[in-house]
Structure 1
Amino acid sequence: MTDITLVRQHESQISEADKDAARRVIFGIIDGLGERGKRQWRRLWNSILRLEPGEMLALQTHLARSGPFHRRHFALEQALFDAQERFEVFEQYLYWIKVGAGWVTWAAGPSGGVVPIPKSISYAAADENEFREFHLQVIQFLRGPHAARYLWPHLKEGADAMMNSVLEGFNE
């Protein structure tokens, strides 16, 4: 889910003619689904156009995920899991990837220190934009200086080549 905060920038007035033109363009291209959706869509834009200078409006959006991209990402994770030598349990491997990619919430640990808690990448928790950001962070982590050497400890110099061979199979 993406949070967007809008703020009215300055005092200038929008003429009624400009508001009408904006509405014609906005509602002519995109509209709410069904009567209820149409009413909600118009209410949203009317609220935006009535904002006073400095007034803010917060929106939450949820962009449906791309099925092919989602499946490719998980196929990449599975291929890497199958090729690596460190983890026997897939769930632990996924936690390691999330922590390495920084896809975490930091919280107080049981002894008072700070610990990473991996965030969810479920459809409800991460829309298309967030999932793509997660994917980029994962690739950056996997291409970084530590992941390959950790997943293939016996390869020493060949670990990076092994990582490259898996990632390049997915054009990453």
Structure 2
Amino acid sequence: MSEITLVRQDGALPDADKDAARRVLFGLVDGLGEVNQKSWRRFFNGLLKMEPGEMVHIKTNRARSGPFHRRHFKIEQTLFEAQERFEFFDQYLYWIKVGAGWVTWAAGPSGGVVPIPRSVSYAKADEGDFQKFHEQVMTFLRGPHAARYLWPHLKDKADEMMNSILEGFHE
């Protein structure tokens, strides 16, 4: 999900420019059906009527690709079943998120800073966010630490194990 805060800047926009913006926006992007068209126009026209310094916060949610989503989680599941460090899947997922940097940093109970894994639920991560998450996970898994941690007995061959699994998914 993307969240955007917009603020009205100083300065006036001539009516001709406002009309041109409406023609471009409503010609390229429009609401689906009459109700959404009216809502879209009302929203955009409301932006044009804002006073300098006035703000509006927008939350967007782009639909996710089901096949991409399922493929990512199949990769995670396959790695979990092949690894020998984690007994519980949720702990493994936390480790992946922390390793990939998909976290919020917060004050810990002793005053230090600790990572709190972020959600990748449909409500919290739209398609763009989820693709970014996937890229970060793949970078982490291909990095110097993940394979050796998941398969400590393999030592230098751990990277080959990781590669064989990821290449099976064309990663």
Number of the residue aligned with 1:32: 31
Structure 2 alignment gaps of length 5 or more: none
Q: How does 1:41-80 map to 2 (within 5 A)?
A: 41-51=40-50, 55-80=54-79
- Residue equivalent to 2:112: 113
> Which ranges of 4 or more aligned residues in structure 1 deviate by more than 6 Å?
none
Aligned length: 171
Q: What SS class does the counterpart of residue 115 from structure 2 fall into?
A: strand
Q: Aligned partners of 1:112, 1:9: CA distance in 2, in Å?
A: 40
Instruction: For residue 49 of structure 1, report the CA deviation from its aligned partner.
Output: 2.8
Task: Note the C-alpha offset of 1:55.
Answer: 4.8
Output the amino acid matched with 1:168.
E
Output the TM-score relative to the length of structure 1. 0.87
Uncovered stretches (5+) of structure 1, i.e. residues with no partner: none
Corresponding letter in the other structure for 1:2: S
CA deviation after TM superposition for structure 1 residue 122, in Å: 0.9
1:15: Cα distance to partner?
2.8
Code of the residue aligned with 2:73 in structure 1: it is F
Mapped to 2, the partners of 1:157 and 1:163 lie a distance apart of 11
| Cα distance, 1:56 vs structure 2 | 4.1
In the other structure, the counterpart of 1:171 is 170
Letter in 1 for 2:96: I
* Structure 1 residue 115: Cα displacement: 2.3
> Using the alignment, how far apart are the partners of 1:14 and 1:107 within structure 2?
42
Question: How far apart are 1:40 and its partner, in Å?
Answer: 1.9
Cα RMSD of the aligned pairs, angstroms, is 2.0
Give 1:5's aligned amino acid: T
Give the whole-Å Cα distance in 2 for the aligned partners of 1:110 and 1:169: 41
Superposed displacement of residue 60, structure 1: 1.3
The CA distance in 2 between the partners of 1:3 and 1:82, in whole Å, is 36
Q: Is the partner of 2:44 in helix, strand or coil?
A: helix
Name 2:140's counterpart in structure 1: 141
Letter in 2 for 1:60: K
Q: Which residue is equivalent to 1:157? A: 156
Alpha-carbon displacement from aligned partner over 1:37-71 (angstroms, at most 9, x marks no partner): 22221122113333455554332111111111101
Residue 22 of structure 2: SS of its match in structure 1?
helix
Cross-structure match for 1:5: 5
Q: Return the TM-score normalized by structure 2.
A: 0.87
Q: How many percent of aligned residue pairs carry the same amino acid? A: 71
How far, CA to CA, are the matches of 1:111 and 1:19 in structure 2? 54
The amino acid that maps onto 1:44 is F
Q: Is 1:87 the equivalent of 2:86?
A: yes
Give per-residue Cα distances to partners, 1:63-121, cap 9 Å, x unaligned.
11111110110111111112212112211111110111111222333333332221111
